[in-house]
Structure 1
Amino acid sequence: MKLNSNNNISPNLGGKRPRFNIYWVWALIAVLLVGWSLMGSSDVAQKTNWDNVKVMIEKGDVQKIDIINKESAEVFLKPDKVDAYAEQKEYKGLPKQGPQFVFNIGSLDYFQSDFESTLTQYKQNVPLSFESRRNMWTDLLTGILPWILIIGVWIFIMRSMSRGQGGGQGGIFNVGKAKAQVFDKDSSVNITFKDVAGLEEAKVEIMEIVDFLKNPNKYKELGGKIPKGALLVGPPGTGKTMLAKAVAGEANVPFFSISGSDFVEMFVGVGASRVRDLFRQAKEKAPCIVFIDEIDAIGRARGKNVGFSSNDERENTLNQLLTEMDGFGTNAGVIVLAATNRADILDKALMRAGRFDRQINVELPDLKERAEIFDVHLKNLKLDPNLDREFLAKQTPGFSGADIANVCNEAALIAARNNKKQIEKDDFLSAIDRIVGGLERRNKIITPTEKRTIAYHEAGHATVSWVLEHANPLIKVTIIPRGKALGAAWYLPEERQITTKEQLLDEMASILGGRASEQMNFGKVSTGALNDLERVTKQAYAMVAYYGMSDHIGNLSFYDSSGQSDMTLTKPYSERTAQEIDTEAKALVDSAYQRALDTLQAHREGLTRLAELLLEREVIFAEDLEKIFGKRKGELRKEMEIEVDESFDETEQ
């Protein structure tokens, strides 16, 4: 029981009232139509033909005949003759009232002529009348049914658009509503920071925001304020979105997740409306977190969208986002997380403190972090017990978390393809080769001359990289086509933060070792060095124009880290400087090429042995190069340093 506003007791019906459904109306109409047809079917004239009616006229049993719409004829029997016909078996159910028979007349002119001749022949007097009759149901269907269909289709389209716009009341009128997913206590996320391997520094800053939401008094007592926003920046696949999912799983506050592209719409003003609606919902549930993935979709610097007017929809959306994050109105308790891999193109007003107080760099994982990521992705795989996970981490420099997940999956597929019971080391190495170089194409048609050229080309790369001290250490060389490459050499680069000029020069000589080997052994060059020339040219120009490694140009760098130069049509240097940069870059490439030639000439015997071994085996490894050339200079120096350190330690003791 409950009291109403007049303090009268009214019963509480408890259950919800059934909602009105338009289908109930259609069902009622169908029932009425069926009932009407059943009720009206009791006295229906029986069908006959003109020959039978002639017999009835001859006997004098017909009272009159009515022609309906010039198509059919209704036959009325004389009242005293109806019972006699009804008793006959063939006329069982004959109606007592109204027309007893009906038949189609065909051609009206022919029927009238035949009717008159029949009356004359049998000397009978049967009145013939004409009647125009309209069918109520036919008129109703032809007049109302099209409108019913139009209204029904319109209702169906409106409901479909309502579901497409995220449901709710209003249908298409909800186009300005935000499409954010809301995670709260009723819809929990199972991912936590324990599921995110690596990213230790990023997790520290993110966890501080989560801790502030859980224990705000600890910070407020010291006068600290909660950060208004944090921007996750890093290459693709490094775990930015995964980190945001972990925040949703760790924080005991509502979490709104939306993509930057969800704000962009073909209708003018929709993006700004969705931003307003998103922050309105967030303020209602504050304290909360709003996560905008791929924010560069709406956060691009204003005034640089070539081909758009000043009233660009994307700029209007960004303006509204800037206002909501830190405008005239208060926005307490709403923390904005965003992720992007193109922070250089974001608007400066969006990046300032007060909107995004923190910019958290999510970089590619180092050796230790890769090992942790492998531990996460190898949990559900059936592995060889002797598999060394540290070895896998060493074999994947520069791989992101997404790449490592792909390696683990590819290794499982390769092992299954070979009908193995467990995933072994070779499967992981094949998976890494598959991702780095592409799929093997053993059926590709290669002539013996081309194969020999490819072998000496790859042997040239391997020889120069092995002999030069600062070049990247080589893992293996193959002349089996992979992807678009006819041959490939795998290196294991050192994980260093800075690179010296000597290291860059050695790498350039190593890259040009393939073409130098072709020139030295065959006296001609081929198109196979296209990728090598592209890489070495870019590296040479970077050394001269970016890194200041040219003695002639000096310590000048024309690199623009802000990305502003992409929108300009002029160079930041004069034509004379451009010519000098071209000259210096060419000199670096020529010097590296000559150095590769000299190195190969000094180790020509080893180069030949290596190339012939490649033609025989198709794949060779670092152990084979060590047998031919001995240990690399860098490895010898490291061994000497270790021996010196050990002797020093013994002396000190």
Structure 2
Amino acid sequence: MKRPTGTIYWIYLFLFVMLGYWVLTDSGGLFGSQAEIEYSTFKQQLRSDNIESVHIQGDRIRGEFRESQVLNRTEADTTSHKNFVTVIPSFGDEGLSSLLEENDVVITAESDSDGFWWYFLIFSMPLFFLLIIGYMFYRRMQMQGRGMFNIGKSQAKLQEPGKNKTTFDNVAGMDGAKTELREIIEFLKDPKRFEEIGAKLPKGVLLMGPPGTGKTLLARAVAGEAGVPFFTITGSDFMEMFVGVGAKRVREMFKQAKEKSPAIIFIDEIDSIGRKRGAGVGGGHDEREQTLNQLLAELDGFEPSENVIVMAATNRPDILDPALLRPGRFDRQITVDLPSQNSRHEILKIHAKNKTIDESVNLDKIARSTPGFSGADLENLLNEASLYAGRNKRRKIIMDDIENARDKIMMGLEREGMQIDDDEKKILAYHEAGHAIVAAALPNSDPLHKVSVIPRGKAMGQTMQLPEKEKYLYNKEYLLDRMAVIMGGRAAEQLIFNTATSGAQNDLMRVAKLSRKMVVEWGMSDKFGHLAFGSDEEDVFLGRDMTRQKSYSDATAREIDEEVQEISREAYERAVKILQKHKDAFDQLAELLIEKEEVSGEEVLKLMKKDQDSD
């Protein structure tokens, strides 16, 4: 039988106590059904020898009739009672004791004070039980953060200086951000030195960057380096169903920080309350905007001697209210970008410290093969690799484990149960071979890492290229070669099977997006020259114009579409010519993929070299 829990448990307990109360009181149960009789009636029954026993407590007498006797309270009420209760008159009865003895009645007695505590216990039990239930309910509300006395209190969590062990040694890369933050650390350590020369501490520091780049870790490291109290809270913690609660929580949080100054307040995901005012459905009077207004007032109301710094993190700085970003509030804005190759190497070293990794693992190669990975992604990469090693009952992580983990993160989980017939597998092999041969042939494309026809995630196959170094600028030649590589799959389908399949859907979308950016945004069109028309993407925020904004006429739009089509057509034709030129290597690679399902970039280059030598 399942044990009752929660509300049902308390209902059962309440019913049990009420049952006990009924048993112990005069209404029945332990003392039986009792008749309240007049004292004169009691004396009459006593003289008639109908009384078996009495219990005297103060002026109250409880008694029991003899079994052979039945007492009816009234003629209309025929309910018989074995027990009775009566009260001695206030003037007393001196002959009562003699009368009881003459009729051989069993007599027991107790003091009035003893009975008082017994009655008090019995009658106060339900009230006591209700108080316990109320207290438990109150505690439960408090623990869930919904207690009535907790609504307006700050939700910020405090980390005392001794408990925060994070320092800049735990943060790899981000050298520029560290340099900016060291000034704040020095100020918090020795504020008088800066105040003597008239320097003012920045009131706010905004950390901006993609998710997983270590913004929260960086803020925690600042508090650890400075050795000051660290208050952490997320933007959503200010919001509540009651109006005005968010603003009150802001006041409470700043009050606590001032009491413990010097201190740091860190607000994660500040865009949840710092969004531009007037852009919401509720106009300028909703709860979120009141909270933002209070935050702005607290930032502006700081005094230099308070030594409280507000740090905030967001990955959407474009939607923040301009009032937050002006000097005097978030004076210092620090961009935390995705790590470079060298930074990725350092991050991998930190996360590898608590892992058992084989000596053959090359962290530098892993850093080079993970462009676009954030610090959180790299941590997840090594964790997934350790799970692969454990699954295969290895004591150390090897390179294959990391390769499999990277493929899982980048392409998705392998769909082992998927059955592909021979015809579809052949089309898929030629499709991926088309990408690979074009990538190996063009001079400006990224080096080929491997080709696979193993279904992963939503993709049926994958041609993976890994750049040799970080790219921050993309020239026109690289983009044209990139589009030709993407078109290699559709070109292979047309060249070998004289058809087109739905497998090229994602390829066509990528080419269309890339070619449009070249024409509209980057000025890489021969027809329009060095002109950029700006993006025509929709504005996604409520309360603002949601129509497409175009800075060109409809006639120009038609010409742009024609130019985009021309660039896409040229990329397709280049891919067809390359596959026709390297037909032998193309066929051999497709056959290898059908046989092995995965071919390395080195093997593809060997096939290409063999094909060129034969020419």
- The two structures have a TM-score, normalised by structure 2, of 0.79
Count of residues paired in the alignment: 539
Q: How many angstroms apart in 2 are the aligned matches of 1:319 and 1:528? A: 51
Q: What pairs with 1:567-582 in structure 2 (closer than 5 Å)?
A: 567-568=544-545, 569-573=547-551, 574-582=553-561
- 1:572 partner amino acid: K
Look up the match of 2:65. Answer: 99
Q: How far did 1:366 drift?
A: 1.0
Look up the match of 2:294. Answer: 320
Look up the match of 1:211. Answer: 186
Q: Residues 213 and 376 of structure 2 are in contact (CA less than 8 Å); yes or no, is this contact kept in structure 1?
A: yes
Q: How far did 1:75 drift?
A: 14
- 1:184 partner amino acid: E
Look up the match of 1:601. Answer: 580
Q: 2:164 aligns with which of 181, 185, 189?
A: 189
Look up the match of 1:462. Answer: 436
Look up the match of 2:214. Answer: 239
Q: What pairs with 1:36-75 in structure 2 (closer than 5 Å)?
A: none
Q: How many angstroms apart in 2 are the aligned matches of 1:303 and 1:268? A: 18
Measured against aligned partners, the alpha-carbon deviations of 1:93-143 in whole angstroms (never above 9, x if no partner) come to xx996522389999x99998xxxxxxxxxxxxxxxxxxxxxxxxxx99999
Look up the match of 1:449. Answer: 423
Q: How far did 1:418 drift?
A: 0.9
Look up the match of 2:137. Answer: 157
Look up the match of 1:57. Answer: none
Q: Residues 233 and 342 of structure 1 are in contact (CA less than 8 Å); yes or no, is this contact kept in structure 2?
A: yes
Closer, same or farther in 2 for the Cα pair 1:98/1:411, shift >3 Å?
A: closer
Q: 1:263 aligns with which of 230, 235, 238?
A: 238
Look up the match of 1:179. Answer: 155
- 1:99 partner amino acid: F
Look up the match of 1:473. Answer: 447
Q: How many angstroms apart in 2 are the aligned matches of 1:102 and 1:541? A: 110
Q: How far did 1:81 drift?
A: 6.1
Q: 1:336 aligns with which of 292, 310, 326?
A: 310
DSSP-derived class of the 1:496 partner:
coil
Closer, same or farther in 2 for the Cα pair 1:148/1:193, shift >3 Å?
A: same
Q: Residues 345 and 562 of structure 1 are in contact (CA less than 8 Å); yes or no, is this contact kept in structure 2?
A: no
Look up the match of 2:362. Answer: 388
Instruction: Give unpaired runs (5+ residues) of structure 1.
Output: 1-29, 48-65, 87-94, 113-138, 634-653
Closer, same or farther in 2 for the Cα pair 1:563/1:304, shift >3 Å?
A: farther
Q: 1:402 aligns with which of 360, 376, 400?
A: 376
Q: Residues 450 and 465 of structure 2 are in contact (CA less than 8 Å); yes or no, is this contact kept in structure 1?
A: yes
Q: 2:600 aligns with which of 621, 630, 633?
A: 621
Q: How many angstroms apart in 2 are the aligned matches of 1:97 and 1:520? A: 112
DSSP-derived class of the 2:201 partner:
coil
- 2:186 partner amino acid: D
Q: How many angstroms apart in 2 are the aligned matches of 1:505 and 1:517? A: 18
- 2:67 partner amino acid: F
Measured against aligned partners, the alpha-carbon deviations of 1:469-523 in whole angstroms (never above 9, x if no partner) come to 1112110001111111111111102411101011001001101100110000000
Look up the match of 2:100. Answer: none
Q: Residues 25 and 122 of structure 2 are in contact (CA less than 8 Å); yes or no, is this contact kept in structure 1?
A: no
Q: How far did 1:453 drift?
A: 0.3
Q: How far did 1:617 drift?
A: 0.9
Q: Which moved more, 1:517-526 or 1:242-251?
A: 242-251
DSSP-derived class of the 1:172 partner:
coil
Q: How far did 1:461 drift?
A: 0.4
Closer, same or farther in 2 for the Cα pair 1:240/1:111, shift >3 Å?
A: closer
Q: How many angstroms apart in 1 are the aligned matches of 2:610 and 2:336? A: 37
- 2:158 partner amino acid: V
Matched, 1:355 2:366: no
Q: Residues 460 and 513 of structure 1 are in contact (CA less than 8 Å); yes or no, is this contact kept in structure 2?
A: yes
Q: What pairs with 1:231-310 in structure 2 (closer than 5 Å)?
A: 231-305=206-280, 307-310=281-284
Q: Which moved more, 1:457-466 or 1:315-324?
A: 315-324
Q: What pairs with 1:521-540 in structure 2 (closer than 5 Å)?
A: 521-540=496-515
Look up the match of 1:376. Answer: 350
Structure 1 or 2, whichever has the larger Rg, is: 1
Q: How far did 1:251 drift?
A: 1.5
Q: Residues 236 and 272 of structure 2 are in contact (CA less than 8 Å); yes or no, is this contact kept in structure 1?
A: yes
Closer, same or farther in 2 for the Cα pair 1:505/1:393, shift >3 Å?
A: same
Q: How many angstroms apart in 1 are the aligned matches of 2:168 and 2:611? A: 42
Q: How many angstroms apart in 2 are the aligned matches of 1:398 and 1:96? A: 90
Identity of aligned residues (%): 45
Matched, 1:413 2:413: no
- 2:180 partner amino acid: E
Q: What is the RMSD computed on CA atoms of the aligned residues?
A: 3.9
Q: How far did 1:189 drift?
A: 0.8
- 1:466 partner amino acid: A
Closer, same or farther in 2 for the Cα pair 1:606/1:285, shift >3 Å?
A: same
Q: Residues 220 and 230 of structure 2 are in contact (CA less than 8 Å); yes or no, is this contact kept in structure 1?
A: no
Measured against aligned partners, the alpha-carbon deviations of 1:344-401 in whole angstroms (never above 9, x if no partner) come to 1111111112111111111111111111111111111112123222121112111111
